[in-house]
Amino acid sequence: MRFVFKTKYRQDVDLFKHNGQRFWYGLLAIAVLLAPFILDSFYVGELALVYIYATAGIGLMLLVGYTGLVSLGHAAFLAIGAYVHAYLLSRGWPVPLSLLTAGLFTAAVGAIVGLPAMRMTGIYLAIATLAFAIIVEQVIAHWESVTGGYRGMLVPDAQIFGVDLSDGRPFYYLCLFVMIACLFAGLNILRTPTGRAMIGVRDSEISAQSMGIDLAKTKSIAFAISAGFTGLAGGLFAHKLGYLAPDAFTLLTSIQLLLMVVVGGLGSMHGVFYGAIFIGLLPQGIAIMRDTLPAAIGQMPGLEPGLFGLILVLFLIFEPLGIYGRWRKIRQFFDEFPLYRKSTHKRQKSYLRTERVR
């Protein structure tokens, strides 16, 4: 067990709490940087997809896990980012500028969607964002002059600094770079007043207000940042897909994204990555399963959404803190061995008003 001996306030502000963390994260950074040279190109592509999901996941985590606002409409932000990026590329914009514009545009849309969120929470907000996603889907399907409607839209081959993005490795590094940039931005937000305001809104709106936190502004900012990150992910996703069509961004995609943050563990940035790995690789797992299972089950239509739903429900019942929560428990078990008791993490009955499930 490690006890961090703090001698400066700065230590509480820093992202890395001690040298052990610096070492392990450094090692991880080297591993992901070297991965494309070691792994097969198929896995490099899959890993890039995981990074794209993680980028969107960081945005969604800020909204759902830290501000406490549920969104069932994040596929729409992903779609907006993807279409804006593809459209600008086809007009001859360079990749970095186009990607950034896609992110900013999506953030602006997010801020507008966030406005009604001032008055809504929980299930009502989920329904409102769901409606928004359906509207966006319809707009994309019918605005044929820009989006190509149901016929779809080809994402132009693009180059970044003279390197072709359709190649696996450069694309992998682009995704990695965007993800890490978003991660740092997200972590920075969380250690500054804006992030604390979000947490305040999540835990108690009444006292957040009397602490001087502007609820409407905070929620709107949370939506904007969340949408912006998801828009960036959408731009990258466009390259991954190669061909955009409205049915690539359906309700199932939104649920997948939400599944990612819940399964990963709400309220922790670590959770995003566990969740992204999980949903990035799950479709592959299901595909493999389809071949091995008896045909009656394996070839069943709707197996994928069904399994997603089932996993979500199982996590909510048995491990509400997600994979990251489970990991922390396992770590604590070894830290405190042999003193760990099963009841340590037992959920207590609570009687205070503020402890009730919202």
**Can you state the percent helix, strand and coil of the chain, rounding each to 5?**
75, 0, 25
User: Could you identify the residue written with the tokens 């016929």?
Assistant: 151
284: part of which helix (H) or strand (E)?
Answer: helix 269-292
β-strand pairing of 163-164 with 159-160: antiparallel
**Distance of alpha carbon 131 from alpha carbon 137, whole angstroms:** 10
Measured CA distances, 324 to 70, 138, 225, 268, 269 (Å) = 20, 37, 23, 8, 9
Question: Which CB atom, from 89 or from 224, has the smaller least distance to another protein?
Answer: 224
**Distance of alpha carbon 141 from alpha carbon 246, whole angstroms:** 6
Binding another protein by CB under 8 A: which of 185, 248, 281, 293?
185
Hey, which residues between 54 and 93 contact another protein (CB under 8 A)?
Answer: none
Of residues 110, 51, 38, the one with CA closest to residue 277: 51
Question: Which CB atom, from 36 or from 65, has the smaller least distance to another protein?
Answer: 65
Binding another protein by CB under 8 A: which of 188, 284, 299, 344?
188
In one letter, which amino acid is 122?
A: G
Question: Which CB atom, from 80 or from 198, has the smaller least distance to another protein?
Answer: 198
Binding another protein by CB under 8 A: which of 18, 169, 196, 290?
196
Measured CA distances, 38 to 46, 166, 180, 200 (Å) = 14, 19, 21, 44
Q: Report residue 72 as tokens.
A: 């069932």
Hey, which residues between 240 and 299 contact another protein (CB under 8 A)?
Answer: 267
Binding another protein by CB under 8 A: which of 101, 194, 250, 332?
194
Question: Which CB atom, from 130 or from 208, has the smaller least distance to another protein?
Answer: 208
x-or-dash string of contact with another protein, 109-148, rule CB under 8 A: ----------------------------------------
Contact between 5 and another protein by CB under 8 A: the answer reads: no
Contact between 336 and another protein by CB under 8 A: the answer reads: no
Enumerate the β-bridge partners of residue 244. 153
Binding another protein by CB under 8 A: which of 138, 166, 207, 344?
207
Binding another protein by CB under 8 A: which of 211, 287, 297, 313?
211
C-beta separation of 142 from 149 below 8 A: yes
Minimum distance from CB of 191 to another protein (Å)? 7
Contact between 191 and another protein by CB under 8 A: the answer reads: yes
Minimum distance from CB of 355 to another protein (Å)? 7
| Residues in touch with another protein (CB under 8 A) | 9-10, 12-13, 184-185, 188-189, 191-197, 199-200, 202-204, 206-215, 221, 267, 352-355
